[in-house]
Amino acid sequence: MKKSLKLRVRQSGLVPLKVFRDLPDGNLFIAEGRRDIPFEIKRVYFINSLANPKAIRGKHAHRKLEQVIYCISGSFLLQLDDGRTKQRIRMNEPSIGVRLGPMLWHTMSSFSYDCVIMVFASARYDATDYIRDYDEFITLANSPAMTPTKLAKRT
Ligand code: TYD
């Protein structure tokens, strides 16, 4: 992933962290809510032991949840789909996250053996916020209520 990467999908964007590079003594990455992360962080989860190279995670969108996803070790492929535009991003830079805003279908795959994914979320877990059916997502994403202006007002 290049720092100059332009995200073409709606409801996304790059979210860089503050970094203090001090090699060989380590790098320090900092994520402060409402500063580095564009919302108050209510939940953090991480995924490791992605030993199955054929694993596919995600395959859903959220109705309201805001998230930012980081690959803090190794690499994986993040596929985004806003209902009109699709984009594939090779996630391999720990300091650069990708915003997963509402109504953005996301899929993670092609994990390296050492991949660790970390996600910051704007709300506690709520199963009713998930859209897991792709056809339903496409219908909702292309409904008049999901025009770019109306989406901007929701967030
Ligand atoms: P899921 O979101 O489907 O994982 P992924 O999108 O990465 O493939 O979550 C897997 C299971 O974990 C599911 O049963 C819901 C549960 N879960 C929680 O209970 N709390 C959470 O914060 C998350 C992210 C998942």
The pLDDT tens digits of the residues spanning 68-94 come to 999 999 999 999 999 999 999 999 999
Query: Which residues of the chain, if any, have pLDDT below 50?
Result: none
Structure confidence at residue 151 (pLDDT): 66
pLDDT at 145: 77
Residue of the nearest CA to atom 1 in ligand 1?
58
Q: What is the pLDDT of residue 71?
A: 98
pLDDT at residue 152 in the model: 64
Whether pTM > 0.85 for this model: the answer is yes
Angle at 10 between CA 136 and CA 65, to 5 degrees: 65
What was the pLDDT predicted at 147? Answer: 65
- Pocket of ligand 1 from Cβ distances under 6 Å: 43, 45, 57-58, 60, 125
**Residue 106 is a catalytic residue:** no
Give the separation between CA 145 and CA 152, rounded to whole angstroms: 11
